[in-house]
Amino acid sequence: MSSIVTDQGTVHYEVHGRGRPVILLHGWINSWDVWRNTMIVLTERGQFKVYALDFWGFGESAKDKAPPFRLDSYVQMVDQFMETLGILRAPIFGHSMGGTVALRLALERPSRVSRLGVVGSPIHGSSLNLYLKLAGVPWIARLIRGLPLALNLVMWTILAGDGKQTREMIFRDVNQTSTESFFRSIGDLHSTDLQPRIGQIRVPAIGIFGVSDNIVNPNQADLMRRALPAARIEMMDRSRHFPMLDEPERFNGILLAFLQEEVAGP
């Protein structure tokens, strides 16, 4: 376990391998651990050194001193992380909320991003599951905060069709998530609209979406395709919101091939 200390609190991260740096960002109510198997696959050939971070308020990162748990603070967090570790530029991959952060990083700190990958990420907040959109409404969020059983019921409803591994991972990570980060980050995602801006991204990009995604509508693939015609879009036929768990062999192969294009060069 590794960490860096910032003015906003500790950032926990895991690192594996040797070679060119790659940064992986987890999704809402997740932690770095969603990337565990992917990190192993990406580093098997000795080409990449892979970093997986915990956002403030999630996993093992700070939950008390941290900023307001919004997307702009997470963009700043990744930028500070790279600055502290001396990583000038790297491929950035993000799952769900992490992909939305990666998109914003590519727009706001373009010199940091050499390649961009998003996995089941909301480009427009209307794509979120209805229950999650409701959790982002302030008065509903206040009500749910006072009724922990209601929150568990909502999560069980959303995850009803997922496998045991996915459900266990989510409920474990929920227990490590602060209440403030839980509600503030989803509220910020709900209000997100990157459609007018993502066409400005100039680095190679890939979008991976589960055809049966139950948390973010897979129609976000169409938004990405229209805004970034050169982007590669992969639809995972047997996946929901976690293709790295639902179809790990295909998913990891897609990421590895995309990364190796940069190693090979023109």
What's the pLDDT tens digit per position in 1-31? 799 988 788 999 999 999 999 999 999 889 9
Point out the residues of the chain with pLDDT beneath 50. none
CA 240, CA 249: separation in Å to the nearest integer? Answer: 15
Tell me the CA distances in angstroms from 238 to 94, 228, 248, one per residue in order.
20, 25, 11
Say if CB 61 and CB 54 are below 8 A apart.
yes
Strands (E), 26-167: 48-53, 90-95, 113-119
CA 30, CA 8: separation in Å to the nearest integer? Answer: 20
183 C-beta neighbours (distance < 10 Å), count? 21
172 C-beta neighbours (distance < 10 Å), count? 12
pLDDT at 100: 97
Closest CA to 204 of 73, 72, 89, 122: 89
Tell me the CA distances in angstroms from 88 to 85, 136, 156, 236, one per residue in order.
9, 35, 41, 32
pLDDT at 140: 63
pTM for the predicted model, two decimal places: 0.93
Phi, psi for 193 (deg, rounded to 5): -150, 100
116 three-class SS? strand
CA 211, CA 225: separation in Å to the nearest integer? Answer: 15
Tell me the CA distances in angstroms from 166 to 97, 112, 264, one per residue in order.
17, 31, 35
pLDDT at 159: 78
Domain count, the chain: 1
CA 169, CA 171: separation in Å to the nearest integer? Answer: 6
CATH number for the domain harbouring residue 249: 3.40.50.1820
CA 212, CA 1: separation in Å to the nearest integer? Answer: 34
- Between vectors from CA 185 to CA 184 and to CA 188, what angle results, nearest 5°? 90
pLDDT one-digit tens code per residue, 191-226: 999 999 999 999 999 999 999 999 999 999 999 999
Enclosing domain of residue 191: 2-264
pLDDT at 141: 62
